[in-house]
Amino acid sequence: MREWVIGAAQLGAIQKSDSRESVVERMMGLLDQAAENGCDLVVYPELALTTFFPRWYMEDQAEVDTWFEREMPNAATQPLFDRAREHQIAISFGYAELTPEGRHFNTSILTNRQGEIVGKYRKIHLPGHVEFDTERDFQHLEKRYFEPGDLGFETFDNEGTIMGMAICNDRRWPETWRVMGLQGVELVMLGYNTPSINAQNRGEGLEKRLYHSELSVTAGAYQNATWAVAVAKAGVEDGFPLMGGSIIVDPDGFVVARTESEGDELVTATCDMDRCQFGKKTIFDFARHRRIEHYGRITSQTGVER
Ligand code: CDT
């Protein structure tokens, strides 16, 4: 399938006390709306099933593990998979994954329109810190609760379209996009939980945070001639604000749909995958134009060296 009607299904706040079942009800409500709008694919945010729990400092691993899913689908999410299959809509959403071996990942999955999982991604660029940080206005403990993803930036042929996933902070790193671009990606899906306030710089302001998010996604889409969908979990969770600004971006880097609220909200766009071809064959024809003899530092060093 080359033309997909895609829905960006932004979720509003999820409080600590909200059950998975109540969130899945909301996700199904957006799915029904997507079906009325003729969607073929719906993208939900990072850690879509719960509050953004990495803002809470926890020492008890048993408590931490209550935020994780041991299988997917599971009892709480099976109704979402069933509804998606009934509507013949592919879905992608994020959740905290606890593997049978006891490993913890910040994960997202992708299904086909029959509700079968066809792709999985585990977040690679984990932001934040490991220990309680007294210098911050609030905590961001992803490095405490997750290990870096071990699946790379794989892409998946989903019914004839090459799709890839990223999660939140990954969008700020050009490497994320280029590794998928080098596999001919045509659609990148990502969800995010981005605080409206910079915990290390209160003066930053919402406008700049929205701009940096959009800049990252539009640049990634343009430079790799791919469609991109970036979907927020937004609103105020137990007093902590998350920004909205979910967007669908075309392969020229233009925003074609954008949410306006910080609540549950669906926006859609018709996305013709063949529109990726022009950029991929001209200015971003990687085979003709890349100069890998000068890119060694990209994979051989992390920090700045002179
Ligand atoms: N969830 C996530 O990755 N959020 C980050 C905030 C980083 S601030 C420590 C983001 O890049 O939006």
DSSP 176-245: HHHHHHTTT-SEEEEEE--BSSBTTBGGG-HHHHHHHHHHHHHHHHHHHT-EEEEEEB-EEETTEEE---
Token pair 């302001």 in the structure block, residue: 205
132, part of any domain = yes
249-276 pLDDT, tens digit per residue, is: 999 999 999 999 999 999 999 999 999 9
Distance 128 CA to ligand 1 centre (A): 7
Distance CA 158, CA 86 (A): 18
- Residue 39 annotated as catalytic: no
- Residue 16 annotated as catalytic: no
Q: HSE, CB side, 13 Å, CA atoms: give it for residue 208.
A: 7
Q: Is 127 in the pocket of ligand 1 (CB under 6 A)?
A: yes
Q: What is the dihedral of CA 29, 17, 10, 64, to 10 degrees?
A: -120
Q: Under a CB-based contact definition with an 8 Å cutoff, are residues 178 and 224 in contact?
A: yes
Q: Is 240 in the pocket of ligand 1 (CB under 6 A)?
A: no
Distance CA 265, CA 169 (A): 22
144, part of any domain = yes
Q: Which domain holds residue 209?
A: 3-300
pLDDT of residue 145: 98
Alpha-helical (H) ranges within the chain are 20-36, 61-65, 78-87, 142-145, 174-181, 206-224, 276-281, 286-289, 296-300
Q: Under a CB-based contact definition with an 8 Å cutoff, are residues 49 and 69 in contact?
A: yes
173, part of any domain = yes
213 CA: nearest ligand 1 atom: 12
Q: Is 233 in the pocket of ligand 1 (CB under 6 A)?
A: no
Provide mean pLDDT across the span 153-175.
Answer: 98
Distance 194 CA to ligand 1 centre (A): 5
- Cβ-count burial of 117 within 10 angstroms (0-12 exposed, 13-18 middle, 19+ buried)? middle
305, part of any domain = no
- Residue 123 annotated as catalytic: yes
6-15 pLDDT, tens digit per residue, is: 999 999 999 9
> What is the token pair recorded at 81?
């998979």
Which residue in 39, 97, 142, 168 is the catalytic one?
168
306, part of any domain = no
207-218 pLDDT, tens digit per residue, is: 999 999 999 999
234, part of any domain = yes
171, part of any domain = yes
Distance CA 126, CA 145 (A): 10
Number of Cβ within 10 Å of residue 275's Cβ equals 17
Ligand 1 pocket mutation, candidates 140, 190, 201, criterion most atoms within 8 A of CB: 140
Nearest CA to ligand 1 atom 9: 128
Distance 126 CA to ligand 1 centre (A): 8
Work out whether the CA dihedral 278, 279, 280, 286 comes out positive or negative: positive
pTM (two decimals) = 0.98
186, part of any domain = yes
Domain CATH for 242: 3.60.110.10
**Dihedral pair phi/psi, residue 80, rounded to 5°:** -70, -45
Instruction: Give CA separation, 116 vs 2, 91, 139, in Å.
Output: 19, 10, 36
**Dihedral pair phi/psi, residue 280, rounded to 5°:** -70, -25
166-177 pLDDT, tens digit per residue, is: 999 999 999 999
Distance 169 CA to ligand 1 centre (A): 5
Residue with the larger pLDDT of the pair 203 and 284: 284
Q: How many domains in the chain? A: 1
Nearest CA to ligand 1 atom 10: 169
